[in-house]
């Protein structure tokens, strides 16, 4: 579904992503893991069109989208739940969901809101409340639901577990598996490498803007060096 070749992202003179090539197959969860500042968000942001692409190609469903605007990419089928959730705090939960569906017809938006409220019943209970009044976990659910409102072929998720309590993290990862089982393709950025590798089929390890290791998550989980560097001591 997604084929990225020799992606470079630069902020002025600083090259944050260097020659990254990666693939995401339809229906898969693929994870990008790596330490702080490795360039994970820069990769996702370059795919969604909000970070500057210096060079490289991004082919999505057979189309080169690397010159499209962020809005055009949403229409093409790529939606992102950004790092730090970034819900619109002063707007209601429902308004945040409506914004996620801004490029879809009104009837479909209403249907999709129903679907999101079925996924996350708390979003129905708190539909009229300001998004800023939700807990961190609820805001993360809202951020994911807002991304899904675009009915994306590919959902980009940037650290959905960041700062959440273990039970909420568990819930979010189980939800991502449910989405995957429903056919949703997901590119997942996580520092929570263990959980990410449990739900993904393939993983890329990013360090200092480069892919240093890649492989089937099942294999990487058994790799002693990966275990030491990223999975911590159980």
Ligand X SMILES: Nc1ncnc2c1ncn2[C@@H]1O[C@H](COP(=O)(O)OP(=O)(O)OP(=O)(O)O)[C@@H](O)[C@H]1O
- Alpha-carbon distance 189 to 116, whole Å? 22
- Distance between alpha carbon 87 and the CA centroid of its chain, in Å? 15
Least distance (Å) from ligand X to the CB of residue 46? 9
Are 40 and 34 contacting, i.e. CB atoms less than 8 angstroms apart?
yes
Task: Give every CB contact of residue 68 below 8 A, 6+ residues apart in sequence.
Answer: 49, 76
Near Mg ion in 76-105, by CB under 5 A: 83
- Residue closer to ligand X by CB (options 8, 42) is 42
- Residue closer to Mg ion by CB (options 83, 227) is 83
For position 38 contacting ligand X by CB under 6 A, the verdict is yes
Closest residue to Mg ion, judged by C-beta, is 41
For position 42 contacting Mg ion by CB under 5 A, the verdict is no
Count of residues interacting with ligand X (CB under 6 A): 13
Least distance (Å) from ligand X to the CB of residue 189? 7
- Residue closer to ligand X by CB (options 41, 96) is 41
For position 14 contacting ligand X by CB under 6 A, the verdict is yes
Near ligand X in 179-218, by CB under 6 A: 191
Least distance (Å) from Mg ion to the CB of residue 32? 10
- Residue closer to Mg ion by CB (options 41, 184) is 41
- Alpha-carbon distance 53 to 86, whole Å? 22
For position 13 contacting ligand X by CB under 6 A, the verdict is no
Task: Give every CB contact of residue 13 below 8 A, 6+ residues apart in sequence.
Answer: none
Find, among 26, 5, 4, 81, the residue nearest to 50 by Cα.
Answer: 81
- Alpha-carbon distance 17 to 96, whole Å? 31
For position 163 contacting ligand X by CB under 6 A, the verdict is no
For position 41 contacting Mg ion by CB under 5 A, the verdict is yes
- Residue closer to ligand X by CB (options 50, 130) is 50
169 binds, among ligand X, Mg ion, none (CB under 5 to 8 A by kind): none
DSSP tally for the chain: helices H, then strands E: 10, 10
Using the rule CB under 6 A, give the single segment among 32-40, 71-79, 129-137, 171-179 that binds ligand X: 32-40
- Alpha-carbon distance 47 to 155, whole Å? 11
Tokens of 81: 């739940």
Give DSSP secondary structure letters for 132-177: GGS-HHHHHHHHHHHHHTT--SEEEEE-TTTT--HHHHHHHHHHHH
Near ligand X in 64-123, by CB under 6 A: 83
State the residues that interact with ligand X by CB under 6 A: 11, 14, 16, 34, 36-42, 83, 191
State the residues that interact with Mg ion by CB under 5 A: 40-41, 83
């Amino acid at each position: 579904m997604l084929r990225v070749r020799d992606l470079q992202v630069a902020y002025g003179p600083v090259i944050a992503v260097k020659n990254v090539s990666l693939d995401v197959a339809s229906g898969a969860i693929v994870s990008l893991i790596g330490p702080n500042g490795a360039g994970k968000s820069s990769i996702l942001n370059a795919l969604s069109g909000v970070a500057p692409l210096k060079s490289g190609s991004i082919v999505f469903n057979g189309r080169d989208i690397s010159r499209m605007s962020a809005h055009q990419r949403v229409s093409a089928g790529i939606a992102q739940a950004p790092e730090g959730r970034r819900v619109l705090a002063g707007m209601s939960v429902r308004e945040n969901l409506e914004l996620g569906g801004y490029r879809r017809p009104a009837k479909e938006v209403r249907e999709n809101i129903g679907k999101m409220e079925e996924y996350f019943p708390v979003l129905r209970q708190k539909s009229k409340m300001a998004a800023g009044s939700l807990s961190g976990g609820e805001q993360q659910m809202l951020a994911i639901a807002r991304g899904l409102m675009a009915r994306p072929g590919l959902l980009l998720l940037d650290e959905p577990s960041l700062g959440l309590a273990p039970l909420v993290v568990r819930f979010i990862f189980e939800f991502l598996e449910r989405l995957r089982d429903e056919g949703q393709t997901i590119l997942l950025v996580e520092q929570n490498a263990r959980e990410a590798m449990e739900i993904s089929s393939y993983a890329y390890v990013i360090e200092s803007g480069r892919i240093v290791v890649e492989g089937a998550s099942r294999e990487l989980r058994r790799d002693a060096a990966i275990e030491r560097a990223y999975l911590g001591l159980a």
